């Protein structure tokens, strides 16, 4: 008999939804567009080599969804164009994912008591939450929160806040949304980290309806425990900086090792409190920064490729979706009828930060 953690309050996933722009671009198409762009001539031979290496070798990514009608638009890189792209697509993607989560939950817009929206690829004031309230027709008295600046790790802090709202207020149902328009945070120069990140990230949104009450039918997905680890000393390894009025991604070679180490420490903390071991986890819902990150996670956690198959599959088809990614992985595991039991949900990113949550899934 499996030991059971004793959470102070329960949070259940009632519905999960995802959304992406319709345009799908393969890495071969991205390389061709880059070589035809004006930017190709602006960058040096080493930059050409880095881009070709990433986009031609097996890097775990085959395609990405980008919020542009043609790849040539990606190379229109100026503050006004990028800001307009974020405003045009982030609210719609967030609302689309939220609507799908609502439908799956069996609830209506009027049932939602709070909405929490995370992003790091653009800035709006009023924030994205107001657009989501408008597009989904949420109540005028809904509690609305915008979280920014947490990078790829943001899904778990978003859900941790959602749980706090369910525990400490009158909220019964909360809508959690992460949305990233990475094509609105494009930056190019000769730095290898900048070029690699430009080749990895895609656009998309993920959402979950979480509640005090579980689904009346189907699977029960209960949030039982979680923890976080934030290490400011490693902040320079992975972060955005403002340059020329735009966001420039800093991506270092240390990231795979940092991700694996921090993920292991967070996992051990929560599993230790529950009296569980790695072998007790039946499904792994992990953020995937890239193929090298997945390989580092396998080594550090003692896992095999099959354990991280959902993360690898989502990375292959969508690229790194930043904060939205783990919703896609969770949806893939549910659609594949992954075995009941203990599921591990984890995200990591800028900060350097890492978060993990233990879920109990049952029929």
String of DSSP letters for 302-318 = T--TTTTHHHHHHHHHH
**Residue position matching structure tokens 């969508």:** 318
Per-residue pLDDT averaged across 36-62, rounded? Answer: 95
pLDDT-derived band at 3 (thresholds 50, 70, 90) equals very low
Q: Could you give the strand order of the β-sheet that contains 114-119, starting from the edge strand earlier in sequence? A: 143-148, 114-119, 173-180, 204-211, 11-19, 220-230, 353-362, 341-349, 281-286
State mean pLDDT over 336-358. Answer: 97
When mean pLDDT is compared across 53-57, 114-118, 207-211, 265-269, the lowest value belongs to 53-57
Give residues with Cβ within 8 angstroms of 268, minimum separation 6: none
Percentage of residues of the chain with pLDDT beyond 70: 98
Lowest mean pLDDT among 12-21, 61-70, 145-154, 160-169: 160-169
Q: Is 181 exposed, middle or buried (0-12, 13-18, 19+ CB in 10 A)?
A: buried
Query: Residue 226: pLDDT above 50?
Result: yes
Query: What does DSSP say about strands 11-19 and 220-230: parallel, antiparallel, or unpaired?
Result: antiparallel
Residue 4 predicted with pLDDT over 80: no
Taking only the tens place, the pLDDT of each residue in 103-148 is 999 999 999 999 999 999 999 999 999 999 999 999 999 999 999 9
Q: In which element (H, E) is residue 87 found?
A: helix 79-105
Where do the domains of the chain lie, and which CATH numbers do they carry? 15-211 (3.40.47.10), 218-362 (3.40.47.10)
pLDDT value of position 170: 87
Average pLDDT of span 22-32 = 97
Mean pLDDT of the chain: 95
| Span of 149-153, 201-205, 212-216, 246-250 with lowest mean pLDDT | 212-216
pLDDT digits (tens, 9 = 90+) for 250-306: 999 999 999 999 999 999 999 999 999 999 999 999 999 999 999 999 999 999 999
**Residue carrying structure tokens 């890495």:** 27
- pLDDT at residue number 216: 79
Contact 296, 255 (CB under 8 A): no
Mean pLDDT within 191-212: 96
What pTM did the predictor assign?
0.95
């Amino acid at each position: 008999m499996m030991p059971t953690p004793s959470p102070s309050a329960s949070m259940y996933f009632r519905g999960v939804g995802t959304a992406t722009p319709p345009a799908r671009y393969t890495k071969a198409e991205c390389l061709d567009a880059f070589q035809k762009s004006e930017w190709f001539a602006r960058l040096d031979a080493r930059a050409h080599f880095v881009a070709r290496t990433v986009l031609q070798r097996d890097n775990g990514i085959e395609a990405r969804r980008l919020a542009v009608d043609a790849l040539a638009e990606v190379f229109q890189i100026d503050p006004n164009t990028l800001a307009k792209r974020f405003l045009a697509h982030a609210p719609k993607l967030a609302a689309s994912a939220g609507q799908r989560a609502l439908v799956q939950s069996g609830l209506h817009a009027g049932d939602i008591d709070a909405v929490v929206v995370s992003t790091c690829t653009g800035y709006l004031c009023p924030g994205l939450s107001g657009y989501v309230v408008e597009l989904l027709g949420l109540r005028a008295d809904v509690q609305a929160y915008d979280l920014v600046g947490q990078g790829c790790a943001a899904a778990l802090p978003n859900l941790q806040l959602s749980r706090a709202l369910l525990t400490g207020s009158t909220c019964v149902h909360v809508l959690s949304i992460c949305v990233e328009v990475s094509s609105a945070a494009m930056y190019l120069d000769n730095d290898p980290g900048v070029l690699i990140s430009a080749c990895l990230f895609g656009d998309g949104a993920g959402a979950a309806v979480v509640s005090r009450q579980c689904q009346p039918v189907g699977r029960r997905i209960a949030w039982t425990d979680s923890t976080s680890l934030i290490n400011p000393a490693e902040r320079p390894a992975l972060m955005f900086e403002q340059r020329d009025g735009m966001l420039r991604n800093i991506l270092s070679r240390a990231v795979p090792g940092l991700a694996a180490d921090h993920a292991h420490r967070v996992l051990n903390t929560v599993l230790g409190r529950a009296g569980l071991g790695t072998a007790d986890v039946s499904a792994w819902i992990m953020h995937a920064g890239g193929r090298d990150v997945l390989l580092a996670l396998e080594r550090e956690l003692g896992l095999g490729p099959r354990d991280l198959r959902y993360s690898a599959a989502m990375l292959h088809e969508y690229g790194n979706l930043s904060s939205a990614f783990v919703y896609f992985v969770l949806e893939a595991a549910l659609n594949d009828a992954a075995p009941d039991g203990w599921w591990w949900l984890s995200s990591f990113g800028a900060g350097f930060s890492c978060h993990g949550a233990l879920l109990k899934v049952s029929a």
